[in-house]
């Protein structure tokens, strides 16, 4: 049993370690060191302590022959790691003082670290929170992903329009990874199938090597650390010597270039499957390397492959790694000679699958020609799996292989012993919609695990003022047991305490205002309500509903400029997929609206709009602690869970939101009176879509909406190109699939309720603080405990 103690490190020890790394790891004398040198030296000094707990954890897991959890994900949106490490090791004061003694500023050094943006949004960030919670809970686990050279693109604006630039996080020195040239697997693609003597052999036509890079992920108090293992593609045969000798240098370098494309870039689209061969190659590359690695570790510790499900739990983060089903069956059957049925049973015993979206366009499916061309044996095995499932369930009507497609959702369901949704509502909708038939056949298989977020990053580290106040009030037990935030409730009844809570929020808002003034050149009123919507740009998330309501508010303010308006700063951030034209138009519209409103002398002090470029984890950490109002306004039934919604509530923002995803559960926890609810329910949405001209009717019934739309249509925000947004207005007034018009009136009503509540600070602060006190359930520690119990049958190796 591992009884680890967090490192006791003095400021002097840490200072000496920093200087030692500066000199001997980076060859730099302190007098000549730049910011990046200091940041790297501090990172290495911290990393040494993380590595100690990492070795201890790995040793414990090996000695105990522990069951390991393997989290397979095409995305890990981890952000910065230095502060995470320092905070979890409890070395904030020492690091600050050690740097000060060396003439360096702690915050400046930390801010030098680039974000590792190896993910698109919610799904990737969830994977990162899960890794941290797995370590905090002492559950032996590995995250497996791809070491993309380029993460999610960098966003800037030109004339209000989104411009994408490649993201190059690996050009800077990266402190956290350990290259593992010995952990190398040869991955095959394409080629032929040979059947001889009852055996099937796959002879791939092309090979690429997968090389491992390990990043330790340390948990709270450094008691445990797990591994994030990312695979990088290298040419198996890097250099075409005959071509070189012919003098064809470009051809000689080709194998290397081709192989590397596999881990070159993260696909920047969280909705539409582009059917691109490279994406499927990436998926198989990850899966094949991970399974090789998992089996190698299993073989080292155990001899009977039939025991695999007792020792190995593999979680598929959405269908992206779904080819793990056929690949594991192929290895067990073709390579290890188990009967097909048994191979399938063993694979199913190991595998489980999380669904993260019901949007039809995001449900992966591959044409069989593409799939079979790249993975001929896996296509055969998918058919065998499908047939076996049919035979066992003769009443089944849908096939995972209909329409010459391979449907990855169905395949994942059939190959998994548990399938989970990510919020209570989403899980029920899964049962009723995409997986209704499979759910009828396997009523035990679907379970819910409502998402959560790590409180270490999303409260303790990002909001030191609030977390300091909390710890002063109830001690620091909440950091590892977030539901203890409930103990704040008595303090919330104390006016003096509420003032301190408010002072923390106000100081966060001042910090943000200063930062925006410096970075964006826009100065905002820190006493205004900070109204924040930050997430990927998508029609279902309805950033256009928010901006329409803002336009209507501006128009009303201009009608009565001297009325008692609640000042608002409306903040947006989020990236649009490069190919998603409508989402990009919404960005431009928001920027155009901002230009007009911010320049309006009549309303400029009461209503400001700002779209902050290049949304990422670090920007979220800056914005969330400063928010008063959290916009969670998706069309009901479309947002599987949301996790930003949890971060805001935890940091003492009020939510304005629909009954969608985890909003439903947040409202239950914080209390209906502390949540601004509006809009249709998921079943209302289904009904409303059947109403003829639903949008036109809604517009006719609400003059505010009609006027706001008219301003968009008439070029009020695009005077240089009057019809720039005609199609946006037409969309909302026409098909309006996401029901912006139909929810507008209710949204306006709820927004004015928020305004009124904000004008009464005593009430508002109380409500905001209750949001913090009652959001403890949304810790990813709770979520991971749920997976460990209900899905993985995994345990903790910490004894505290
Ligand atoms: C699909 C694709 C398709 C092709 C290329 C790249 C790509 C990347 C991602 C996706 C699916 C993304 C699904 C997703 O992110 N869902 C979000 O998951 C969050 C965590 O469970 C949840 O909070 C959000 O509500 C949900 O939208």
Instruction: For residue range 160-182, list pLDDT tens digits in order.
Output: 999 999 998 888 888 999 999 99
Contact present, 536 and 120 (Cβ < 8 Å): yes
For residue 703, give Cα distances in angstroms to 364, 518, 700, 733, 737. Answer: 42, 39, 7, 13, 21
Confirm or reject: Cβ of 122 under 6 Å from ligand 1. yes
Structure confidence by residue, pLDDT tens digits, 564-609: 999 999 999 999 999 999 999 999 999 999 999 999 999 999 999 9
For residue 776, give Cα distances in angstroms to 90, 135, 487, 782. Answer: 21, 19, 11, 9
Structure confidence by residue, pLDDT tens digits, 178-216: 999 998 999 999 999 999 888 899 999 999 999 999 999
Pocket test for ligand 1, best of 534, 640, 738, 780 (most atoms within 8 A of CB): 640
* pLDDT band, very low/low/confident/very high, at 1 (cuts 50, 70, 90): very low
Determine phi and psi for 362, rounding to 5 degrees: -100, 0
Structure confidence by residue, pLDDT tens digits, 290-345: 999 999 999 999 999 999 999 999 999 999 999 999 999 999 999 999 999 999 99
Residue nearest to atom 4 of ligand 1 (CA): 273
Amino acid 3: pLDDT: 41
The SS3 call for residue 654 is strand
Amino acid 2: pLDDT: 40
The SS3 call for residue 531 is strand
Encode 521-546: b = buried (16+ Cβ within 10 Å), e = exposed.
Answer: eeebbbebbbbbbbbbbbbbbbbbbb
Could you give the percent of the chain with pLDDT greater than 70?
98
Residue nearest to atom 3 of ligand 1 (CA): 273
Residue nearest to atom 9 of ligand 1 (CA): 270
3-state secondary structure 251-300: HHHHHHHHHHHHHCECCCCCCCCCCCHHHHHHHHHHHHHHHHHHHHHHHH
Total residues belonging to the chain: 800
Tokens of 301: 């510790």
Amino acid 272: pLDDT: 55
Report domain extents, the chain: 1-64+88-114, 67-87+116-451, 523-760
Amino acid 276: pLDDT: 84
Of 346 and 255, more confident: 346
Active site residues: 356, 535-536, 541, 643, 647
Residue nearest to atom 10 of ligand 1 (CA): 270
- CA–centroid distance, 318 to ligand 1, in Å, is 8
**What's the CATH code, domain 523-760?**
3.40.50.2000
- CA–centroid distance, 274 to ligand 1, in Å, is 14
Asked whether the domain spanning 523-760 has the same topology as the one spanning 67-87+116-451, the reply is yes
Contact present, 346 and 308 (Cβ < 8 Å): yes
For residue 342, give Cα distances in angstroms to 328, 330, 517. Answer: 12, 12, 64
Confirm or reject: Cβ of 751 under 6 Å from ligand 1. no
Contact present, 413 and 389 (Cβ < 8 Å): no
Q: Cα separation of 268 and 540, whole Å? A: 18
Alpha helices per DSSP H over 672-739: 682-690, 694-701, 703-713, 726-733
Q: Taking Cα atoms as reference points, which of 380, 379, 355, 385 lies closest to residue 367?
A: 379
| Domain spanning 67-87+116-451, CATH architecture | 3-Layer(aba) Sandwich (3.40)
- CA–centroid distance, 371 to ligand 1, in Å, is 22
Tokens of 694: 């639903």
Whether the predicted pLDDT of 242 surpasses 90: no
Q: Cα separation of 144 and 142, whole Å? A: 6
Residue nearest to atom 7 of ligand 1 (CA): 270
- CA–centroid distance, 516 to ligand 1, in Å, is 29
Amino acid 309: pLDDT: 98
Residues whose CB is less than 8 angstroms from the CB of residue 168 and which lie 6 or more positions away in sequence, other chains included: 149, 150
Average pLDDT, integer, range 49-73: 97
Q: Cα separation of 506 and 625, whole Å? A: 10
Whether the predicted pLDDT of 683 surpasses 80: yes
- CA–centroid distance, 640 to ligand 1, in Å, is 9
Phi-psi sector, 416: left (phi>0), alpha (psi -120 to 50), beta: beta
Determine phi and psi for 525, rounding to 5 degrees: -90, 110
Structure confidence by residue, pLDDT tens digits, 88-134: 999 999 999 999 999 999 999 999 999 989 999 999 999 999 999 99
Q: Say what the pTM is.
A: 0.97
Q: Taking Cα atoms as reference points, which of 611, 618, 621, 625 lies closest to residue 572?
A: 611
Contact present, 557 and 603 (Cβ < 8 Å): yes
Determine phi and psi for 415, rounding to 5 degrees: -90, 0
Q: Cα separation of 483 and 115, whole Å? A: 30
Confirm or reject: Cβ of 266 under 6 Å from ligand 1. no
Confirm or reject: Cβ of 269 under 6 Å from ligand 1. yes
Confirm or reject: Cβ of 451 under 6 Å from ligand 1. yes
* pLDDT band, very low/low/confident/very high, at 270 (cuts 50, 70, 90): low
Confirm or reject: Cβ of 123 under 6 Å from ligand 1. yes
Q: Cα separation of 680 and 743, whole Å? A: 7
Average pLDDT, the chain: 96
Whether the predicted pLDDT of 454 surpasses 60: yes
Amino acid 275: pLDDT: 54
Run of H or E including 620: helix 617-623
Confirm or reject: Cβ of 128 under 6 Å from ligand 1. no
Q: Cα separation of 185 and 189, whole Å? A: 13
Alpha helices per DSSP H over 64-119: 82-89, 92-101, 106-111
Tokens of 35: 């910011």
Whether the predicted pLDDT of 403 surpasses 60: yes
* pLDDT band, very low/low/confident/very high, at 6 (cuts 50, 70, 90): low
Structure confidence by residue, pLDDT tens digits, 614-628: 999 999 999 999 999
Residues whose CB is less than 8 angstroms from the CB of residue 209 and which lie 6 or more positions away in sequence, other chains included: 184, 185, 186, 187, 233, 234, 235, 236, 259
Confirm or reject: Cβ of 661 under 6 Å from ligand 1. yes
Q: Cα separation of 256 and 233, whole Å? A: 9
Q: Cα separation of 150 and 168, whole Å? A: 5
Q: Taking Cα atoms as reference points, which of 316, 306, 382 lies closest to residue 349?
A: 306
Amino acid 254: pLDDT: 79
* pLDDT band, very low/low/confident/very high, at 258 (cuts 50, 70, 90): confident
């Amino acid at each position: 049993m591992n009884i680890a103690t967090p490192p006791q490190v003095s400021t002097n020890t840490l200072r000496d370690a920093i200087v030692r790394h500066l000199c001997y790891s980076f060859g730099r004398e302190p007098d000549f060191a730049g910011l990046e040198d200091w940041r790297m030296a501090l990172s290495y000094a911290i990393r040494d302590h993380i590595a100690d707990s990492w070795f201890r954890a790995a040793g414990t897991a090996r000695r105990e022959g522990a069951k390991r959890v393997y989290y397979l994900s095409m995305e890990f949106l981890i952000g910065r790691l230095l502060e995470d490490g320092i905070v979890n090791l409890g070395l904030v004061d020492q690091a600050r003082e050690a740097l000060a003694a060396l003439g360096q500023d702690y915050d400046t050094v930390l801010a030098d670290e680039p974000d590792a943006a190896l993910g698109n949004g919610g799904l990737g960030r969830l994977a990162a929170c899960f890794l941290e919670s797995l370590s905090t809970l002492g559950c032996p686990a590995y995250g497996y992903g791809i070491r993309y050279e380029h993460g999610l693109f960098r966003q800037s604006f030109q004339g209000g329009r989104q411009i994408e630039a490649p993201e190059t996080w690996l050009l800077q020195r990266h402190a956290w990874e350990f290259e593992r040239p010995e952990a190398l697997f040869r991955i095959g693609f394409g080629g032929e199938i040979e059947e001889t003597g009852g055996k099937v052999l796959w002879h791939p036509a092309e090979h690429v090597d997968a090389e491992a890079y390990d990043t330790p992920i340390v948990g709270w108090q450094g008691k445990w650390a797990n591994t994030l293992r990312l695979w990088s593609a290298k040419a198996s045969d890097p250099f075409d010597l005959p071509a070189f000798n012919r003098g064809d240098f470009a051809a000689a370098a080709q194998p290397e270039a081709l192989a590397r494309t596999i881990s070159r870039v993260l696909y920047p689209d969280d909705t539409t499957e582009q059917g691109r061969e490279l994406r499927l190659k990436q998926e198989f590359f990850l899966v094949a390397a991970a399974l090789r690695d998992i089996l190698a570790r299993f073989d080292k510790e155990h001899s009977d492959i039939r025991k695999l499900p007792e020792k190995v739990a593999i979680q598929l983060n959405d269908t992206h790694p779904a080819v793990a089903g056929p690949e594991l069956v192929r290895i067990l059957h073709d390579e290890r000679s188990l009967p097909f049925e048994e191979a399938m049973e063993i694979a199913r015993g190991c595998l489980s699958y999380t669904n993260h979206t019901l949007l039809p366009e995001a449900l992966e499916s591959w044409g069989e020609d593409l799939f079979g061309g790249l993975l001929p044996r896996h296509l055969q095995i998918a058919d065998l799996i499908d047939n076996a499932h049919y035979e066992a369930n003769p009443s089944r009507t849908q096939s995972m292989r209909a329409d010459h497609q391979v449907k990855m959702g169905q395949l994942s369901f059939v190959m998994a012993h548990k399938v989970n949704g990510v919020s209570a509502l989403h899980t029920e909708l899964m049962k009723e919609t995409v997986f209704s038939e499979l759910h009828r056949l396997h009523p035990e298989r679907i379970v819910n695990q409502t998402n959560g977020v790590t409180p270490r990053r999303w409260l303790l580290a990002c909001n030191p003022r609030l977390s300091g106040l909390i710890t002063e009030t109830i001690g620091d037990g909440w950091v590892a047991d977030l539901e203890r935030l409930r103990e704040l409730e008595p303090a919330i009844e104390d006016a003096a305490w509420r003032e301190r809570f408010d002072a923390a929020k106000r100081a966060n808002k001042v910090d943000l205002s200063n930062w925006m003034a410096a970075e964006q050149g826009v100065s905002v009123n820190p006493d205004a309500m900070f109204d924040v919507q930050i997430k990927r740009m998508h029609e279902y998330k309805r950033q256009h509903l928010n901006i329409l309501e803002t336009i209507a508010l501006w128009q009303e303010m201009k009608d009565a400029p001297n009325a008692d308006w609640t000042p608002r700063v409306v903040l947006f951030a989020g990236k649009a997929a490069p190919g998603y034209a409508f989402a990009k138009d919404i960005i431009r519209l928001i920027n155009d609206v901002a230009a007009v409103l911010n320049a309006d002398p009549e309303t400029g002090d009461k209503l400001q709009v700002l779209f902050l470029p290049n949304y990422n984890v670090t920007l979220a950490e800056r914005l969330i602690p400063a928010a008063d109002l959290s916009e969670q306004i998706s069309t009901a039934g479309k947002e599987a869970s949301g996790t930003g919604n949890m971060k805001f509530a935890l940091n003492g923002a009020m939510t304005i939101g629909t009954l969608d995803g985890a909003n439903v559960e947040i409202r239950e926890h914080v209390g209906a009176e502390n949540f601004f609810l509006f809009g249709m329910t998921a079943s209302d949405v289904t009904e409303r879509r059947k109403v003829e001209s639903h949008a036109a009717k809604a517009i006719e019934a609400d003059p505010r909406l009609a006027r706001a739309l008219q301003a968009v249509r008439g070029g009020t925000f695009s005077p240089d190109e009057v019809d720039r947004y005609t199609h946006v207005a037409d969309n909302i007034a026409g098909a309006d699939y996401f029901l912006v018009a139909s929810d507008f009136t209710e949204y306006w009503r709820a927004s004015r309720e928020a305004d009124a509540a904000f004008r009464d600070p005593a009430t508002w602060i109380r409500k905001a603080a209750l949001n913090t006190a009652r959001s403890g359930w949304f810790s990813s520690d709770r979520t991971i405990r749920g997976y460990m119990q209900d899905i993985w049958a995994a345990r903790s190796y910490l004894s505290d």
